[in-house]
Amino acid sequence: MNKIDDKLNEFIAQLDYSVVSDMFAKISSGKKLRSKLIYKIAGDDEKSVRLCAVVELIHLASLLHDDVIDDASLRRGKASINALFGNKNAIMLGDTLYSKGFFELSKFDEKIASLISDAVCKLSLGELMDVELSKAFNSDENAYFRMIYYKTAVLIEAASGAAALLVGADENSHKEYGKNLGIAFQIIDDILDITSDEATLGKPAMSDFKEGKSTLPYILLFKAQNESQKERLKALFAKDLSVDELSWLKEQFNKYKIIEKSVQIAKDYADKALSAVSNAELKEVVNAMINRKF
C-alpha cells in the first residue's frame, strides 16, 4: 500500500497549501479495502495506483463529512479531524479531497469516470438517508439495506467494476461481487459495534445506537420482541445508556439470538459475493472479512 500512500501525498502536495497538508497528515490511514480489491483485480501498474488513490480520496472525504455529521471525536482510535481542527475545517478538507479526486478521475476513460462519479452521488444520498433514518427509531429493514448499499457498498461496487474495466475483465460480475461484499462488510461492522470493546473498535462500544443508528441487530431485535419490550427499546434510542440499560440490551440480544441471526444474514451476502467471481484472492478477502471476531 506504500505506492498508494505516495500517490495520495503527491496529489495533496499538488494542491500547494500547507493547511491542507497539515490536516491530511493527521488523517488515520485505514485498511484500504477498496484499494486492495483494485489491486487484486487490476494488478500493480501506474493506472491501478492512480485509481486506488482517487477512490481513497473519495472515501476519506466521505469519512470526514461523516464524522462531522455524527459529531465523532474518534476515528480508528485516533482523534478525528473535526475534533482536532473543528467542523468547518473538516468539511472544507472533505470538499477539497472530493474535488481533487474528481479532477484526477477526469483523466480516466469515460466509462470508469462515469462509474465512480455515479457511485459518489449515491454515496452522498446514502449519507442523507442515514441522517433521515436517525431522526427516530427505524424498524424498516428495507430502508436500512438501501441506506447501507448507498453509503457503504456502492463505492466498493464501483471500485471493483472500475478495476475490471482497467484490465478488460467482466464489469458486471465484479460489481456484483463488490456490492455484496460491501453490504456484508457493513453488517459485520454493525455487529462488531455491539460485540467488541472500545480498544478493538477505536471508539466506544455500542455507540451506534447512541448516535441514532438503528442497525440490523436492533431492527431484528425489535421484530422479535413483545410490545412492552419494543417500547423500552425505542425509549433507549439515541441516548446515553446506563450500565443497567446496556445490560438489558445485551440480555435481549442473547435471548433472541440476534447476533447469530445477523451474522447469518452477513454470510448470505458474502456467499453471493463468492459466487460472483472465480478469483481466489477476491474470495480470500470475503472469508477474512466475514470471519472477524464477534
Pick from 108, 140, 173: which residue ends a domain?
108
Indicate whether 149 and 58 sit together in one domain: no
Residue pLDDT tens, the chain, 294 long: 899 999 999 999 999 999 999 999 999 877 899 999 999 999 999 999 999 999 999 999 999 999 999 888 988 778 999 999 999 999 999 999 999 999 999 999 999 999 999 999 999 999 999 999 999 999 999 999 999 999 999 999 999 999 999 999 999 999 999 999 999 999 999 999 999 876 666 667 788 999 999 999 999 999 999 999 999 999 999 999 999 999 999 999 999 999 999 999 999 999 999 999 999 999 999 999 888 764
Q: What single DSSP character describes residue 30?
A: -
For residue 278, the one-letter residue type is S
What sections of 136-257 are H helices per DSSP? 141-148, 154-167, 171-195, 198-201, 207-210, 216-224, 227-236, 243-255
Using an 8 Å Cβ cutoff, are 265 and 187 in contact? yes
CATH assignment of the domain containing 65: 1.10.600.10
Indicate whether 92 and 187 sit together in one domain: no
Pairing of strands 74-75, 78-79: antiparallel
Retrieve residue 247's grid coordinates: 445490560
Indicate whether 224 and 86 sit together in one domain: no
In this structure, the chain runs to a length of: 294
Number of structural domains (the chain) is: 2
Pick from 56, 74, 108: which residue ends a domain?
108
Indicate whether 39 and 120 sit together in one domain: no
Pick from 88, 108, 128: which residue ends a domain?
108
123: domain range?
110-294
* Sequence-distant (≥ 6) Cβ neighbours of residue 18 within 8 angstroms: none
* Sequence-distant (≥ 6) Cβ neighbours of residue 7 within 8 angstroms: 49, 50, 52, 53
